[in-house]
């Protein structure tokens, strides 16, 4: 029997907005970050992400300095509050319905995002995903550092990480469904057996027309 996998991007696909941007805003609102220039710089770097020009290691070195010297346990407490109060109201009903459809068919649910994994895993857990992959960050002295560990789940890194995971599973000849909003995910779109574009950005919409990928508009 052929194995099937339902793979979802996270930001602007399953939820309205970008969890990294929302997390930075949350840290600002909670007065954990108090430099307005930090928030502005974060937004500027997210614009680079949307344009496909972001250098991910540079962005993370900048972004994660806000959590320097804060213990992982404290970050985890903030994350629980952040996901419950900020993220949960932003999950698209169509996303939940689609996930439930695959779950009813016994298809494993995988969330792969270019957001740091400590955020991705918290949200994916709430969505009932079986597997969550984000950009893993090295820890130092019980705190999150600013350096990436392993292959970052960004652009073709998503495909590499998925294949790395599959190699350790009793899976052969997996049939992959993939949902995303971003042209940054074109490598995964082309790898998947079926690609579904959700709220696609202009570059992805163009690719969807060329490849005849189904397109959806999900709203709250």
Arithmetic mean of pLDDT, 62-90? 94
The residue assigned the tokens 């971003």 is 182
Residues with Cβ within 8 Å of residue 77, at least 6 apart in sequence: none
User: What pLDDT, on a 0 to 100 scale, did the predictor assign at position 171?
Assistant: 79
User: What pLDDT, on a 0 to 100 scale, did the predictor assign at position 58?
Assistant: 86
> Is pLDDT of 50 > 80?
no
> Is pLDDT of 1 > 50?
no
Angstrom distance (rounded) from CA 156 to CA 108: 21
> Is pLDDT of 19 > 50?
yes
Q: Two tokens at 97?
A: 């319905």
- CATH code assigned at 9: 3.40.50.1000
Least confident range of 26-30, 128-132, 167-171, 201-205: 167-171
Angstrom distance (rounded) from CA 79 to CA 122: 7
Q: How confident is the model at residue 203 (pLDDT cuts 50, 70, 90)?
A: very high
Share of the chain above pLDDT 70, in %: 99
Q: Two tokens at 116?
A: 């740091």
User: What pLDDT, on a 0 to 100 scale, did the predictor assign at position 2?
Assistant: 60
Question: Taking all residues of the chain, what is their mean pLDDT, rounded to a whole number?
Answer: 93
Arithmetic mean of pLDDT, 38-63? 82
Query: Model's pTM, two decimal places?
Result: 0.93
Domains identified in the chain, total number: 1
- Among the listed residues 119, 38, 96, 57, the one whose alpha carbon sits nearest the alpha carbon of residue 220: 96
Could you tell me the residue range of the domain that residue 42 belongs to? 4-216
Least confident range of 118-122, 166-170, 183-187: 166-170
DSSP string, 156-214: HHHHHHHHHHHHTTT--S-EEEEEES-GGGHHHHHHSSEEEEES--HHHHHHHHHHT-E
């Amino acid at each position: 029997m052929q194995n099937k996998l339902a793979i979802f991007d996270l930001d602007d696909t399953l939820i309205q907005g970008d969890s990294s941007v929302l997390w930075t805003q949350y840290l600002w609102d909670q007065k954990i970050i108090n430099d307005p220039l930090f928030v502005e710089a974060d937004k500027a770097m997210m614009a680079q992400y949307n344009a496909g020009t972001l250098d991910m290691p540079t962005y993370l070195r900048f972004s994660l300095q806000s959590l320097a010297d804060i213990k992982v346990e404290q970050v985890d407490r903030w994350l629980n509050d952040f996901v419950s109060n900020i993220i949960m109201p932003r999950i698209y009903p169509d996303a939940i319905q689609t996930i439930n459809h695959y779950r009813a068919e016994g298809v494993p649910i995988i969330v792969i995002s270019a957001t740091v994994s400590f955020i991705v895993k918290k949200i994916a857990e709430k969505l009932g995903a079986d597997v969550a992959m984000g950009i893993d960050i090295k820890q130092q002295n019980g705190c999150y550092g600013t350096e990436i560990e392993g292959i970052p789940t960004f652009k073709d890194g998503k495909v590499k990480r998925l294949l790395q995971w599959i190699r350790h599973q009793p899976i052969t000849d997996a049939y992959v469904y993939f949902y995303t909003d971003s042209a940054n995910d074109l490598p995964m779109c082309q790898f998947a057996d079926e690609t579904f574009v959700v709220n696609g950005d202009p570059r992805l919409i163009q690719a969807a027309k060329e490849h005849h990928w189904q397109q959806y508009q999900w709203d709250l």
